[in-house]
């Protein structure tokens, strides 16, 4: 089993450590019984996520999270790893936390879970039905479980760069 999650801050500050965000993504992969995965999480500025939103989703403006999953190329039943990129804008997460009355830390963790679930193939409808969808319910259960885990708990597997160094990956 190989689960690798890299987190890059791209010069953007967030009130949650990259290690914590990595551990949240690893917990989702483990909860979903994923055996092999390579996931890149990039914390980006609002203008950067707005550019990604326009270029890849044809939507105007900022959003909080965008995920990309590479399609499986396995043939004949071969096991292929999950590979995906997740982009999160902490400033948009901060605004959402204020708007919905939650903490920025919790919102960032929610976005990591949300993005990871999208990479795994989950989807949800737009509009009001979004928050009652199976994906949203799964996301909130995983968030509750991650919030109950001790903050100092270090998961095994995966990798992250030493503090102060930017991890390499697709940003």
Backbone phi and psi for residue 51, each to the nearest 5 degrees, phi listed first: -65, -45
What pLDDT, in 10s, does the model give residues 4-26?
Answer: 999 999 789 999 999 999 999 99
Question: Taking 50 as the threshold, does the pLDDT of residue 40 lie above it?
Answer: yes
Q: Is residue 25 part of a domain?
A: yes
Burial class (CB in 10 A: 0-12, 13-18, 19+), 161: middle
Q: Is residue 64 part of a domain?
A: yes
CA distance 97 to 103: 6
More confident residue, 164 or 137: 137
Q: Is residue 162 part of a domain?
A: no
Residue 122 · residue 137 · CB < 8 Å: no
- The model's confidence at residue 131, banded by pLDDT at 50, 70 and 90, is confident
pLDDT of residue 16: 94
Question: Taking 70 as the threshold, does the pLDDT of residue 107 lie above it?
Answer: yes
Length of the chain: 171
Q: Is residue 115 part of a domain?
A: yes
CA distance 139 to 112: 10
Residue 84 · residue 71 · CB < 8 Å: no
Domain ranges, residue 47: 2-72+80-147
CA-based angle 134:129:111, to the nearest 5? 60
The reply to whether the predicted model has a pTM over 0.85 is no
Q: Is residue 66 part of a domain?
A: yes
pLDDT above 70 covers what percent of the chain?
A: 81
CB neighbours of 132 closer than 8 A, spacing ≥ 6? none
More confident residue, 158 or 150: 150
Q: Is residue 152 part of a domain?
A: no
Q: Is residue 159 part of a domain?
A: no
Query: Can you give the CATH number for the domain in which 87 is found?
Result: 3.40.390.30
pLDDT of residue 62: 94
Token pair 């989702």 is at which residue? 28
**Lowest-confidence region among 29-33, 72-76, 78-82, 137-141:** 72-76
């Amino acid at each position: 089993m190989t689960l690798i999650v890299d987190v890059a801050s791209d010069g953007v500050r967030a009130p949650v450590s990259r290690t914590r965000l990595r551990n949240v993504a690893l917990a989702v992969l483990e909860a979903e019984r994923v055996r092999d995965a390579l996931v890149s999480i990039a914390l980006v500025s609002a203008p950067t996520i707005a550019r990604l939103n326009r270029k890849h989703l044809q939507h105007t403006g900022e959003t909080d999270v965008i995920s990309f999953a590479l399609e499986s190329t396995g043939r004949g039943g071969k096991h292929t790893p999950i590979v995906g990129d997740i982009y999160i804008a902490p400033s948009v997460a901060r605004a959402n936390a204020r708007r919905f009355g939650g903490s920025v830390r919790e919102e960032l963790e929610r976005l990591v879970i949300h993005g990871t679930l999208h990479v795994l193939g989950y989807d949800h409808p737009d509009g009001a039905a979004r928050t009652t969808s199976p994906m949203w319910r799964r996301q909130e259960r995983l968030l509750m479980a991650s919030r109950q885990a001790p903050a100092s708990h270090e998961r095994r597997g995966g990798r992250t760069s030493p503090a102060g160094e930017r991890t390499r990956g697709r940003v």
